[in-house]
Structure 1
Amino acid sequence: MSTVTRWWLIRHAPVPNPGGLIYGRSDPSADTGDLATARALARILPDAAVWVATPLRRTRQTAEALRPGVAPLVEPGLAEQDFGVWEGLSHDSVAVWHPEGAKRFWSSPATEAPPRGESFAAVMERVAAALTRLTGGHPGADLVAVMHGGSIRAALALALDLTPDAALRLRIDPWSLTRIDFFPADGQAAGAWAVGGVNLLAGTFAPGGR
């Protein structure tokens, strides 16, 4: 029996956002109407898997579109970055109403936190803790986690030992699949991560991807 734990990380379906608002921890709905993309992704997901979502509805809506009737575990540690008082504002509004904070944040977006929010470095810490805990709780399992762009970047940072600045350079599109595996400890080793694919989109999935 394999003890390799396989993570299937999916970014939720797109969120209509004509105003370009910041919605990290806000809770807008996703548009899951792209049935062709949902079906293409669903076809390569493992039949027997533990499903995980975050407390934000867009991840649960996406999970339902991919596997109707699914009841995912809800894991707060995998939620999107909290942008604090900037939630629901446009970037232009932030520049007008919080000029000093915006200047400070954009000078170092990986480590600076918005007012009453969290930095991306903090996101990396909590996502790493959640992934480590869930991996330990489901050794040898497939875990399909519907997450956010920020939390998937954080997961890749754990797997690849990336700095916060380097992780922010990764592109993670809606409906994309990222694959990481955890190989357990052998003797005195602490175990190791391997990356099988990043930001894979419908049309690029390998046949028999399960």
Structure 2
Amino acid sequence: MADCTTVFDLIRHGEPEGGPMYRGSKDDPLSEAGWQQMRRAIAKTDHWDAIVTSPMLRCVRFAQELADNYGIPLHKDERLREINFGEWEGRTADEVMASDGDRLSQFWANPVVCTPPGGEPAKDFNHRVVESWHHWQQELAGQNVLVVCHGGVIRMIVADAMNIALEHSFSSLATPYACRSRIQVDTSGHGRFQSLIAHGVIKALTP
């Protein structure tokens, strides 16, 4: 295996129209505030060779704008959609807590054993996200890559990189709007090593 370093910057979408809620597969576009959050999170010093994005409106429209501005390839991946929250979608956290509080608490404590009613099992969600994550490591090896996606997706990727058990993957990482993470993937004859370099609301992550 040839020596290779690939750098991934992950960015969560900004605030969508309708404000904070369990949105999941609900395909709302970014609000004006969300566009501002995303644009503020990008700096002139940023450099990417390619962009990979969730196809959902709150991600893909900003990703397309960046790809056009940078003149770089844009790859859309259905596997990077947010988890489907089933009957909780379109409702705020307070609303779900008021009507289904015990199950909501159980979900955050251990999503493997508590699936939202009518929602996507955490194991299925994790499988498709990690499958995508490993695919792009191979497909775009040696490049600097931006991934525009969702809070749940970022949690799955960081959990894979840091060997965090799926049971703890949702509660172990805060992912506010427009937060950025950087993961470095080094491959060599000794194997593949993933390292979380930075995470948070960071204006720019320079190499």
SS of the residue aligned with 1:172?
coil
Distance 1:2-1:167 versus aligned 2 partners, 3 A rule: same
In structure 2, the residue matched to 1:23 is 23
Q: How does 1:64-83 map to 2 (within 5 A)?
A: 64-68=64-68, 72-83=74-85
Q: Is the CA contact (8 Å cut-off) linking 2:41 and 2:201 kept in structure 1?
A: no
Q: Which amino acid aligns with 2:180?
A: L
TM-score, normalization by structure 2: 0.81
Q: Which amino acid aligns with 2:83?
A: Q
Distance 1:24-1:194 versus aligned 2 partners, 3 A rule: same
Distance 1:32-1:92 versus aligned 2 partners, 3 A rule: closer
Gaps of 5+ in 1: none
Structure 1 residue 86: Cα displacement: 2.5
In structure 1, the residue matched to 2:202 is 201
Question: Using the alignment, how far apart are the partners of 2:107 and 2:23 within structure 1?
Answer: 20
Question: Using the alignment, how far apart are the partners of 1:145 and 1:191 within structure 2?
Answer: 20
Question: Using the alignment, how far apart are the partners of 1:90 and 1:39 within structure 2?
Answer: 26
Distance 1:30-1:139 versus aligned 2 partners, 3 A rule: same
CA RMSD of aligned residues (A): 2.7
Distance 1:123-1:37 versus aligned 2 partners, 3 A rule: closer
Gaps of 5+ in 2: none
Structure 1 residue 72: Cα displacement: 2.1
SS of the residue aligned with 2:191?
coil
Question: Using the alignment, how far apart are the partners of 2:38 and 2:119 within structure 1?
Answer: 33
Q: How does 1:170-189 map to 2 (within 5 A)?
A: 170-186=173-189, 189=190
The range that moved more, 106-115 or 86-95, is 86-95
Q: Is the CA contact (8 Å cut-off) linking 1:7 and 1:142 kept in structure 2?
A: yes
Q: Percent identity?
A: 22
The answer to whether 1:161 aligns with 2:163 is yes
- Count residues with an aligned counterpart: 199
Question: Using the alignment, how far apart are the partners of 1:143 and 1:96 within structure 2?
Answer: 41
2:136 to 134, 154, 164: 134
Question: Using the alignment, how far apart are the partners of 1:179 and 1:194 within structure 2?
Answer: 8
Q: Which amino acid aligns with 1:44?
A: T
The range that moved more, 147-156 or 9-18, is 9-18
